[in-house]
Structure 1
Amino acid sequence: MTLTMDSIGRLQKTAAVERYFQTFNQGQFLETAQLFTQAGQLQPPFEDPIVGPDAIYAYLKREAAGMQANPQETTIEQLEANDQRIVVKGNVKALIFNVNAAWIFKLNPQGHIEQVEVKLLASLQELLTLRP
């Protein structure tokens, strides 16, 4: 198998996404946050974007402790200007809920995360049961 620069770039991006889930699930939120660029954004459901690794680390430490993200399906979408979007579908498990979710990653050419948008894939009825 011959690796082209294009395929190496795809491997780097996939590795960053895999590392995101590994570090998140191990509660290594500092390492998770360091996968983002300095202007990187985490867009949680129903909240404003969290910008920059320091803010992302603080947010994850406060909000994501005990959560498990279970990726099940990954799709790589080709965008304009050779950019790619990686969409991962799966579920998020916490002490009081288990909900289907999608993570939409935008990565720079070096494989660092520029943005992760987290979407809950649930009906309105299911979402209402999640509110405290």
Structure 2
Amino acid sequence: MTAEVQSVDIASPIDVISEPVILTYFETLNAGDFQATADLFAESGVLRPPFDEELVGREAIAQYLAAEAKGMKFQPLMATYGVLETGDTEFTITGKVQTALFGVNVAWNFVLNPDSQILSVQIKLLAGLEELLNLKPGQDKKKE
């Protein structure tokens, strides 16, 4: 349960995130530095991608990101956060992931420990099954 929730809705993705660890998460992902991204996690941190088994530990997370996130661009657009009863902080970041073929709206649910290490990230696609099945190259681009 969250005790207090704050919301920020700003057009500039960089301005959306005030937590340095989460900002660095997106910067390193976009730079393709997946080991640096994985190093932001606690030793037994967990990544929960949308269609795969959860990954536990920095090495497993780095290997997964290198295989699955290469060439993607991550655009955080809105952030909410709250402090959990455990003292950990929960952040929900919504935005977009752009692949070579399509873009999709995504939510990242982060839990950070008091040492600002990522305990977990759950990634959720914000699209219905029918929408996901109908994705085609260039579909989300403006028609000329």
TM-score if structure 1 supplies the norm length? 0.85
1:81 counterpart SS class: coil
How far apart are the structure 2 equivalents of 1:30 and 1:54?
8
How far apart are the structure 1 equivalents of 2:86 and 2:120?
17
Match of 1:45 in 2: 50
Query: Which blocks of at least 5 consecutive residues in structure 1 are unaligned?
Result: 1-12
The aligned amino acid for 1:114 is L
1:16 counterpart SS class: helix
Aligned residues: 119
How far apart are the structure 2 equivalents of 1:14 and 1:47?
27
Give 2:126's match in structure 1, choosing from 96, 121, 125.
121
Match of 1:33 in 2: 38
How far apart are the structure 2 equivalents of 1:61 and 1:109?
28
The aligned amino acid for 2:125 is L
How far apart are the structure 2 equivalents of 1:38 and 1:15?
19
Query: Which blocks of at least 5 consecutive residues in structure 2 are unaligned?
Result: 1-17, 137-144
Match of 1:9 in 2: none
Match of 2:105 in 1: 100
What RMSD over aligned residues (CA atoms) do the two structures have, in Å? 1.5
From the two aligned structures, give the one with the greater helix fraction.
1
TM-score if structure 2 supplies the norm length? 0.78
How far apart are the structure 1 equivalents of 2:62 and 2:88?
26
Distance of aligned partners of 1:130 and 1:39 in 2 relative to their CA distance in 1, 3 Å threshold = farther
Percentage of matched positions with identical amino acids: 44
